[in-house]
Amino acid sequence: MPRFYGVEIRSRMMLGTAQYPSPAILAEAFRASGAGIATVSLRRESGGGRAGSDFWTLIRELGVRVLPNTAGCHSVKEAVTTAHMAREVFGTTWIKLEVIGHTDTLQPDPFALVEAARILAADGFEVFPYTTEDLVVAGKLLDAGCEVLMPWGAPIGSGLGLVNPYGLRALRERFPDVPLVVDAGIGLPSHAAAAMEMGYDAILLNTAVAKAGDPAAMARAFALAVEAGAAGRAADPMEPRDMAAASTPEIGRAFLE
Q: Which residues line the annotated binding site for 1-deoxy-D-xylulose 5-phosphate?
A: 157, 184-185, 206-207
Binding residues: 157, 184-185, 206-207
Q: What is the set of active-site residues?
A: 96
Residue 127: φ, ψ to 5°: -95, 135
Alpha-carbon torsion angle 9, 11, 155, 209, nearest 10: -130
